[in-house]
Structure 1
């Protein structure tokens, strides 16, 4: 980490009922970027597009409001959701006495909430107002709003969404929020379809589009419809009627992300830098998680080299007043794929994992939000639940093939016939951190023992295919229980989080209780449990209901 501010509690906005004033400088910043004064903006259609960059770069958070970039993403996602998903872990033990061992750091866990409400959601509201007479741009705004805020809802629970900007009790419980998510997606998709039909070849959003590969409204229809299916499956364990209704709307429309190149991601082509890549390549703080090592190496997965570099495995030495010291290794792990376990509770000066496998993601890697592979696994789940008439097996295997193609990995035919299982984790320094693999299923669909194991295969491969987007991966792991992640060795939550059940959510910013006690009371009441990391969210049923 680069700044001491990471260890402080970030200011959480208590003014969620209004568009907060700290975004006022954005408009001048963006005018400077475009080089147009107000008259030319109006003439060149720019005034309708100015807000979109802020919103899109705010989803996978890397918006610079004057305090620098990248560090915000690290505390908003990388030291939380990315780690809890099993994808990554920071080698630096100086920061692993906090979230890693469930002693949740409020200054970190607050950030995803605080910055979206302080900076991004007000811009969404302004964008809706500006584009009220621009149906295509308003439709894109609605889809973007859902993509932005369902991520917040899935981390914290009840939130301010449908009544954002209103006075009084403006909190939505999760069912209400999801119902509004579906309504906004329906409105956005329908409006785009109408616009495309009435204005063939017209692409008013092209100059502002940072997310779709070819910058077309047709791709936004696919994205919106795919997002609808994602959220439909999210609620399938707790509200089958709602899930079935929304999923069938998706299948009736039939427009999905399907091909390997159909990836929704924040593009780095125009100056956006991937914050995960900066933390990884420049700061050297993004390492393979232990569960990822177990699954990828156990399966001998050809995507492993696409996701992570091999460990350098160099012998770790240091000097102090008593002389030079060497950290003993139990075995040579150089040139292997070696992950970092969560929750070791090691002392802050311990850097034993610094020569393990790092991520391959760089500053110029597009920041993935949704892939066609993910959508195929969503379709596999819908078929398994009897919501569609597709074949679960065919959708599952197409999802695996699509992911392999997306990453340029070969050997998919052999992989889909493989009977390999995940490997046990062997710690190179201390055997007390060794862990037996909890996952016993294989990539081969044919050997599944019933519906639950078929579902486990779908979700395990989906988890692999969603890499490196840890926010969504953690959400799906909590919803389904798959993949079965390694558990923390040290739990310093004070009993708030059960080691076996694992962390279920992020607490609300602590400052809300004093800055806006009425709203905080509404949020916790709608949550229906203690405001800590152990309370399950509405869609988190604790079991899979087929």
Structure 2
């Protein structure tokens, strides 16, 4: 294990000692996170700009890279089927083999509230408190950012501190929203922000809004499109849990005059300047992440022109020159076994959180469900593919790809497997998808849904958190189950991991609040319990 991996393990092991729980000293750091009063902030909004920038950079923490590794990479990026680590952390008993590491998983929670590296709720709470009347555009930005950040946290843990943030209960604890309550409040906040931005969408932005915006350089119209697209994403997320609410919110997003993201240049991607994308460090400098087997199976099977845009050919002598992924949750004796499989191609210094291609696929699913103003499912589906191909500069291949009615995901073979049973996924195996690419209007809804989600999964790379959420919601794309399951029976191999347990730090620092929070779950506080929206 290289020095970076050792550093990760030492940090993770010490997490409960070096980073306080997000509710420890809660009242103090939430009242005054910047040591500035409202009077200090109001004159030129200089500190408000700083807080909005901090929140944008904290949704997906980009530095130090080891925080990204723990916040998402050794969780959603792997659980969503995109990647796998060649490194046998903790003797190969870790998140990737379903032995959930509390010290790692704390970092999926702490940046949302307050940590040495990042914070979302503290600065945004301060911004919304003082900008609603004098600066509604900044207020709207803060609401949208809050939803974008916190729905990701809720989709990991379930209950979160959101509407009750900073509010102490009578017994001294701090209460969580159940996930259902959180989503209700997400829609409320998005609706309010959309109402503010809709009449502003063609107006010149204020200098303060421009200075605060790390995505669109102050374009109100683009922020409105992002808010509508995010609203549609979350509406579809809850479609099995509350179909009526999902339809109402989705149709509201589709009906708004601002529209959805539609071109690759519309992607909601946070600019991190000259900073190297953390995945470049984790894959390149550290060698701690490689392509996942599902990516190999699906992209190679489809002859997808985006494959070399995502990953590099392997340099391992056993598979040299091939695009080779690692199956999740397998027996790994040493890092050297798989470290020369396909690494990630270097990503630009932007953190993509919602793409225009995804918005087209959201619209395709909405159309397939018969929602108003969604247009035609086939047209939306094909627009999603062409938009993604355009994003990666492979436009010339889009037409042939869209009209390919025969290619299917390819069987996966691991020539270096240790454990029998992990070395191939043969034709006919239920975990190997048989879905083709070309749209067929005669297909039933479920087949259409698998086709839409499989293509959406490809296009939203490398956002593994969203990929994992959509896999849990729909079961698509079909992924390969872990071979080694170290959960002690808490997580089903065939059902896959459904969530992350609330870190022990929270039990220590906010026991009464956590006790109430876990009672809102469908089962025990472990990785096998489904979230509210995760309906079988």
Deviation at 1:345, TM superposition (A): 2.8
2:193 corresponds to: 188
Deviation at 1:76, TM superposition (A): 1.1
Q: Distance in 1 between matches of 2:27 and 2:326?
A: 41
Q: Distance in 1 between matches of 2:22 and 2:307?
A: 43
The reply to whether residue 360 of structure 1 matches residue 321 of structure 2 is no
The reply to whether residue 427 of structure 1 matches residue 414 of structure 2 is yes
1:134 corresponds to: 135
- 79, 86, 94: which is aligned to 1:84? 79
- 402, 414, 426: which is aligned to 1:416? 402
2:491 corresponds to: 497
Q: Distance in 1 between matches of 2:143 and 2:356?
A: 21
- TM-score under structure 2 normalisation? 0.89
2:459 corresponds to: 465
List alignment gaps of at least 5 residues for structure 2: none
Contact 1:307 1:360 in 2 (8 A): yes
Q: Distance in 2 between matches of 1:448 and 1:365?
A: 42
The reply to whether residue 57 of structure 1 matches residue 57 of structure 2 is yes
2:269 corresponds to: 265
Q: Distance in 1 between matches of 2:433 and 2:197?
A: 43
Q: Distance in 2 between matches of 1:45 and 1:513?
A: 37
- 69, 78, 90: which is aligned to 1:74? 69
List alignment gaps of at least 5 residues for structure 1: 29-37, 64-68, 315-331
Corresponding residue SS for 2:352: strand
Q: Distance in 2 between matches of 1:247 and 1:15?
A: 34
Contact 1:2 1:71 in 2 (8 A): no
Q: 1:42 to 1:423 in 2, by over 3 A?
A: same
Deviation at 1:173, TM superposition (A): 1.2
The reply to whether residue 369 of structure 1 matches residue 359 of structure 2 is no
Contact 2:357 2:456 in 1 (8 A): yes
Corresponding residue SS for 2:503: coil
Deviation at 1:202, TM superposition (A): 4.0
Q: 1:501 to 1:54 in 2, by over 3 A?
A: same
2:95 corresponds to: 99
The reply to whether residue 385 of structure 1 matches residue 369 of structure 2 is yes
1:177 corresponds to: 182
Deviation at 1:211, TM superposition (A): 2.0
Deviation at 1:215, TM superposition (A): 3.2
Q: Distance in 2 between matches of 1:172 and 1:44?
A: 34
Q: Distance in 1 between matches of 2:24 and 2:401?
A: 49
Is the deviation greater in 181-190 or in 6-15?
A: 6-15
Q: Distance in 2 between matches of 1:113 and 1:203?
A: 33
How far does the alpha carbon of each residue in 1:107-133 deviate from its partner, in whole angstroms, 9 at most, with x for none? 112211122122321111122224242
Contact 1:19 1:122 in 2 (8 A): no
Corresponding residue SS for 1:351: helix
Q: Distance in 1 between matches of 2:453 and 2:295?
A: 14
Deviation at 1:346, TM superposition (A): 2.6
Contact 1:313 1:356 in 2 (8 A): yes
Q: 1:25 to 1:221 in 2, by over 3 A?
A: closer
Pairs within 5 Å for 1:27-38: none
Q: Distance in 1 between matches of 2:35 and 2:278?
A: 23
Deviation at 1:21, TM superposition (A): 2.7
Q: 1:17 to 1:530 in 2, by over 3 A?
A: farther
Q: Distance in 2 between matches of 1:145 and 1:17?
A: 21
1:444 corresponds to: 438
* Superposed CA RMSD: 2.2
Q: Distance in 2 between matches of 1:128 and 1:222?
A: 21
- TM-score under structure 1 normalisation? 0.88
Corresponding residue SS for 1:127: helix
Q: Distance in 2 between matches of 1:48 and 1:346?
A: 48
Deviation at 1:263, TM superposition (A): 0.7
Q: Distance in 2 between matches of 1:480 and 1:391?
A: 21
- 236, 246, 271: which is aligned to 2:249? 246
Q: 1:266 to 1:55 in 2, by over 3 A?
A: same
The reply to whether residue 113 of structure 1 matches residue 74 of structure 2 is no
How far does the alpha carbon of each residue in 1:492-528 deviate from its partner, in whole angstroms, 9 at most, with x for none? 1000000000000011011222321101111100113
Corresponding residue SS for 1:483: coil
How far does the alpha carbon of each residue in 1:31-58 deviate from its partner, in whole angstroms, 9 at most, with x for none? xxxxxxx98x866542331201210110
Contact 2:200 2:220 in 1 (8 A): no
Q: 1:161 to 1:22 in 2, by over 3 A?
A: closer
Corresponding residue SS for 1:368: strand
Q: Distance in 1 between matches of 2:57 and 2:34?
A: 13
Pairs within 5 Å for 1:276-287: 276-287=279-290
Deviation at 1:165, TM superposition (A): 0.8
